[in-house]
Amino acid sequence: AEAAAQAARRDEDFLRHAVKELEALAPKSDDEEVLAAERQLLRAGSALGEAVTQALGELEQGRGAIAALAAAHRLIERNVDKAAGHLDTPLAALDRALSETTEAQAQLEAARDALEFDPARLEKVEERLFTLRAAARKHGVAVPALAELARKMVSQIAALDSGETGLKNLAAAAEAARASYIAAAETQAASRRKGAIRLDKAVAAELAPLKLEKAKFVTGLAPLPEAEWSEAGTDRVQFTVATNPGAPPAPIARIASGGELSRFLLALKVCLAKVGDAATIVFDEVDSGIGGATAAAVGERLKKLSHDVQVLVVTHSPQVAAIADRHWLIRKTTTRNAASTDVIELDAKGRREEIARMLSGAEVTAEARAAADKLLTVAG
């Protein structure tokens, strides 16, 4: 609003003069079209009037068409009763012709009056067209746009006239809103700092069971430039980790390996599940990049979490699969024209076979089945 008012103030004299001119001109959006049509008619008025007058003369003067039709009509009408019906149709035709010709005469007389050549009116029309087009050229718009331009200029002047008071009110309102926002953001930031301490402590307690006992998790809060403030607040929240003793924490996505990242995310989800109200938590490839004892540790933590909420895990780890309460096999079948996915609940025998396959690969060996039995026995 302030920028608009400043721009309008610079052009104030021009605006006021232009509005005065346009208000005197009082342009309408269809002026040019209407005036051009009238000018064309006025320019042709003399020739058109002469043609209409001549046509009327043919109908009216001497033995004109109307007089001839009337004479013929009288002759037939006097003898129609003697013709045994042979003159009825010609008489009716003469009736129609006389009526239509009389109507044509009246219409021609009206047209003659309307088309009467008026040099004074033609001059006025041409003068207004010239003035409208000159104004349009001056303001760089088409003639039909002059009316809208005048309205915009009036609005600009109104904004200029009320600008000082309005701008002061707007500035005060903006400053009050900014102060209110900063106060709310500071309250939010303080709450985040306290929450970050609690979250770091909770995640730290989850790292050792996930074979990350030497790792460190830190929730970082950094102030944002004012241009980046938003409804989310005035600070940036970033999860950082240090996976080696003595190393400074860095953004988790940059430092953690695939297996470490999976376990950090598991630890976070476990902590958030404790304070959330989710009835089910889904993990997809949470065991990515790990195996052996580490995968078993992840499975144990998932099992513990399932005591509080329902846990669904998509996994390729036999250690994680063995510790679950239920086991479904997801099988994708691709044909020439389509693909389908089947989800099959496995019984005890099917579960043993699938875990053995996960251990050995395409060919399930006796050793793999024995290892699967051991995993299932340990899992209980």
Secondary structure element (H or E) that encloses residue 281, with its range: strand 280-284
In a domain, 92, yes or no: yes
In a domain, 122, yes or no: yes
In a domain, 273, yes or no: no
| Confidence band of 290 (pLDDT split at 50, 70, 90) | confident
In a domain, 112, yes or no: yes
Give pLDDT, residue 115.
Answer: 65
Kindly report, residue by residue over 18-28, the tens digit of the pLDDT. Answer: 889 998 888 89
Q: Which of 12-26, 71-85, 298-312 has the lowest mean pLDDT?
A: 71-85
Kindly report, residue by residue over 141-179, the tens digit of the pLDDT. Answer: 999 999 999 999 888 888 777 766 777 888 889 999 999
| Confidence band of 329 (pLDDT split at 50, 70, 90) | very high
- Total domains present in the chain: 1
Give pLDDT, residue 66.
Answer: 74
Give pLDDT, residue 160.
Answer: 74
Give pLDDT, residue 218.
Answer: 93
Mean of pLDDT over the chain: 84
In a domain, 67, yes or no: yes
Q: What is the DSSP string of 188-245?
A: HHHHHHHHHHHHHHHHHHHHGGGT-TT-EEEEEEEEPPGGG-BTTBSEEEEEEEE-ST
Contacting residues for 224 by C-beta, under 8 A, at least 6 apart: 233, 234, 235, 236
More confident residue, 236 or 106: 236
| Confidence band of 46 (pLDDT split at 50, 70, 90) | low
* Closest to 204 in 3D by CA, of 223, 195, 192, 217: 217
Q: What is the length of the chain?
A: 380
Does pLDDT of 317 surpass 90?
no
What domain range includes position 149? Answer: 24-159
In a domain, 119, yes or no: yes
Give pLDDT, residue 177.
Answer: 95
Q: How many CB atoms lie within 10 A of CB 44?
A: 13
Q: 173 vs 2, 167, 169, 179, CA distance in Å?
A: 13, 10, 6, 10
- Say how far apart CA 375 and CA 368 lie, in whole Å: 10
Kindly report, residue by residue over 81-136, the tens digit of the pLDDT. Answer: 888 888 888 888 888 988 888 888 788 777 766 666 667 877 888 899 999 999 99
Q: Which of 33-37, 108-112, 175-179, 323-327 has the lowest mean pLDDT?
A: 108-112
Q: Say if pTM beats, i.e. exceeds, 0.85.
A: no
In a domain, 135, yes or no: yes
Residue with token string 């004012």: 226
Residue type, 29: S
Percent of the chain exceeding pLDDT 70 equals 91
Rounded to an integer, the average pLDDT of 29-47 is 79
Give pLDDT, residue 183.
Answer: 95
